[in-house]
Structure 1
């Protein structure tokens, strides 16, 4: 694998195409494969979602996230098999609702590779560490009007306490979006953080 494979998970109501365009500047250092959410967006005429946010509550969100994880895992496993790599060799990168899914994968010990969460929150219980820790980057803007930066600060503290390798990068004047400062933080972290050494899952006939 000459370049790392970033699997990008978009925010609610958006699409793989939109996120792939936002992450295009990362192409020199990584291959970006953006996935569409598993469900049509149920609060608008277009877009996709990983889980519904209709009437969602703080208490109910973890259940919805848990319900969405098996479909995501299945798609990641198929992608990894197609590329002949271990699922954990993929770098997960989520924005907003996609970041919620990314952090849930780490917290539930379903991914112990590299994971990047932009403007997200941790909405899943953290299971005890049973294998290698994940390497996690959280990027959040101080002026985000949708997701306050305190959500990433809380997630970073909790995952670090659980034994994961965690970095938090704060940006300014980006809001709830991906922009130049976001991409710079991601690029710098990817270069500085080695991918896990995992054997290929490719089966040769």
Structure 2
């Protein structure tokens, strides 16, 4: 059986190395490549980000996310080309800000494969009706940074746009990637049925 290729997007202020470590349990059945965000994080010399959060508001977040998409697509296409696959053959997996970017790619019709969004939110107000993606939303009920309702809202919008959306909850992980998180992802990647989020 061919191993799946996961491309992982970290949260703001983190980096590819941290994301690789967090997703290590997934390497039992998948290959994991974590990418570094293209911008340095202003508050941490080792941290990276996909878009700046300095002065970010509900009003300006969508524009920042949209501006970050072309660079991310270039990075994904480079990985896909290096491995002889299509962009949609990747399993796009994002946490927090990385999940925001993951959901934005799906909502904008830029990605139609399998994707996992951990503790994310949909920055766009609407999702385009396009070729459907297969999406897993994972959120911790005790997340103090990203309210769990954000995943519920994202799931509803993307399901309405025709995407296949599944959701799963963890408890006690907080805003992070824990053992329960990776267990759910491994089960989903292996084809286990999970409760629909929408």
Structure 1 portions without partners, runs of 5+: 194-205
Secondary structure at the residue paired with 1:7? Answer: strand
For the Cα contact (< 8 Å) 2:130–2:162, is it kept in 1? no
Secondary structure at the residue paired with 2:98? Answer: helix
CA distance in 2, matches of 1:102, 1:130: 15
CA distance in 2, matches of 1:139, 1:167: 9
For the Cα contact (< 8 Å) 1:108–1:125, is it kept in 2? no
For the Cα contact (< 8 Å) 1:43–1:54, is it kept in 2? no
Give 1:159's aligned residue.
158
1:131-154: per-residue Cα shift (whole Å, max 9, x none)? Answer: 3x1000000000000001000010
CA distance in 2, matches of 1:21, 1:171: 19
Q: Aligned runs of 1:44-123 on 2, under 5 Å? A: 44-123=44-123
For the Cα contact (< 8 Å) 2:127–2:158, is it kept in 1? no
Secondary structure at the residue paired with 2:28? Answer: coil
Q: Aligned runs of 1:114-193 on 2, under 5 Å? A: 114-131=114-131, 133-192=132-191
Q: CA deviation at 1:125?
A: 4.4
CA distance in 1, matches of 2:127, 2:155: 15
Q: CA deviation at 1:127?
A: 4.3
For the Cα contact (< 8 Å) 1:13–1:41, is it kept in 2? yes
Secondary structure at the residue paired with 1:93? Answer: strand
When normalised by structure 2's length, the TM-score is 0.94
Question: How many matched pairs?
Answer: 192
1:141-191: per-residue Cα shift (whole Å, max 9, x none)? Answer: 000000010000100011011110000101100000111110111011111
1:71-100: per-residue Cα shift (whole Å, max 9, x none)? Answer: 000011111111110110001000000000
Secondary structure at the residue paired with 2:189? Answer: helix
Greater CA drift, 67-76 or 38-47: 38-47
Structure 2 portions without partners, runs of 5+: 193-198
1:1-58: per-residue Cα shift (whole Å, max 9, x none)? Answer: 8211000000000010001001011111100000000111122332100000001000
